[in-house]
């Protein structure tokens, strides 16, 4: 009998090799933790910063905020789940000026992410790139309320300052992800173009009301007044973070009548009952504003948020 020969090995046909290669690439792309394909994980302290990061980062970033747009950013529950989010952050973007002083430091410490500590290579503080207003000139202690020693941290109500922040976030993303430099540059230019167009429209809508005096609940609208030409006649809080007393509210009613105040502005994370009382007794309109991006169903992006704020203020002044 002739010995049985083993079957001869043959190479797979070219089409099979091509198919095998394609399947291998697809499988590799699906593997978790593949750094080359994974977007940068950006964590921000507030939704406004998250919105700006999404604008300039696009698909190259995955962004989440530690607070929601309906929350007072001074007071966020330092939940351990937030520390877990920070543990995997490629970049932490905070407002600064001690806005988050009551809750962010312990979360950063618990995260064990050394790169996002203050001054770390993956930490960016937005206040570092904007001209700051309301910087106290005297001593700062509890007697003057919750005053921020470094100045007013609510600068995202000014689109010109928000653009400075967006450009700085793009520069930080480029530093961390040089391969995405062209994407970040193009998206920043596009966002800048759209913001400048909206800014021109908002200024035109607000121009007839330049010099109009308004009341606000907390000192959150300093930057809004700065770019709109509107004027703050005072706040319903006698000192920042201090609930209004009946005597102070009575003084605000007198002030509103004397100064011809047409509107009292209040973010939707504050109790509006005192604002409504002063409005009713003075004849002014009580206007509730979204506190941040996501603070209203119509405020899904930064530009939509600012548009809603402007339209509500203009509507109250007409």
Same fold, 40-131+147-200 and 206-317: yes
Residue-level pLDDT at 37: 53
Instruction: Point out the residues of the chain with pLDDT beneath 70.
Output: 1-37, 138-147
Domain residue extents for the chain: 40-131+147-200, 206-317
pLDDT tens-digit profile of 108-151?
999 999 999 999 999 999 999 999 999 988 666 555 556 678 89
Is the domain spanning 40-131+147-200 CATH 1.10.1740.10? The answer is: no
Best CA proximity match to 217, nearest among 206, 230, 232 = 232
Which residue's structure tokens are 């007044």? 225
Task: Give the distance, in angstroms, between the CA of residue 94 and the centroid of all CA atoms in the same chain.
Answer: 9
CA distances 101 to 134, 174, 247, Å, are: 18, 28, 31
Tell whether domain 206-317 is in CATH 3.40.30.10.
Answer: no
CA–CA separation, 192 vs 213, rounded Å?
30
Q: Confirm if 86 and 92 have CB atoms less than 8 A apart.
A: yes
Q: What is the structure's pLDDT at 72?
A: 93
**What is the structure's pLDDT at 137?**
82
Cβ atoms within 10 Å, residue 257: 13
Classify the C-alpha dihedral 55-197-164-98 as positive or negative. negative
Residue 9, pLDDT score: 43
pLDDT of residue 193: 98
């Amino acid at each position: 009998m002739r010995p049985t020969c083993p079957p001869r090995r043959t190479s797979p046909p070219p089409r099979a090799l091509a198919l095998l290669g394609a399947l291998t690439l697809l499988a590799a792309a699906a593997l978790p933790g593949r750094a080359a394909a994974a977007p940068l994980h950006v964590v921000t302290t507030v939704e406004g910063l998250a919105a700006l990061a999404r604008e300039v980062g696009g698909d190259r970033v995955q962004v989440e905020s530690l607070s929601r747009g309906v929350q007072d950013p001074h007071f966020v529950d330092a939940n351990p789940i937030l520390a877990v989010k920070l543990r995997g952050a490629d970049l932490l973007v905070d407002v600064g000026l001690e806005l988050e002083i009551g809750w962010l430091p312990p979360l950063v410490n618990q995260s064990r992410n050394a790169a996002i500590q203050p001054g770390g290579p993956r930490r960016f503080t937005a206040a570092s790139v904007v001209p700051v207003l309301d910087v106290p000139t005297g001593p700062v202690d509890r007697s003057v309320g919750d005053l921020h020693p470094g100045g007013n941290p609510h600068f995202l109500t000014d689109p010109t300052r928000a653009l400075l922040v967006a450009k700085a976030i793009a520069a930080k993303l480029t530093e961390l992800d040089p391969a995405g430099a062209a994407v970040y540059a193009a998206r920043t230019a596009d966002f800048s173009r759209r913001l400048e167009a909206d800014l021109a429209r908002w200024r035109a809508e607000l121009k007839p009301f330049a010099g109009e005096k308004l009341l606000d609940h907390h000192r959150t609208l300093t930057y809004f007044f700065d770019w709109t030409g509107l004027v703050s006649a005072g706040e319903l809080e006698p000192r920042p973070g201090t609930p209004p007393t009946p005597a102070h509210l009575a003084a605000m009613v007198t002030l509103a009548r004397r100064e011809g105040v047409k509107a009292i502005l209040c973010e939707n994370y504050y109790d509006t009952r005192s604002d409504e009382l002063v409005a009713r007794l003075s004849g002014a309109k009580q206007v509730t504003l979204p506190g941040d991006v996501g603070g209203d169903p119509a405020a899904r992006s930064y530009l939509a948020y600012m548009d809603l704020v402007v339209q509500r203020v203009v509507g109250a002044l007409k």
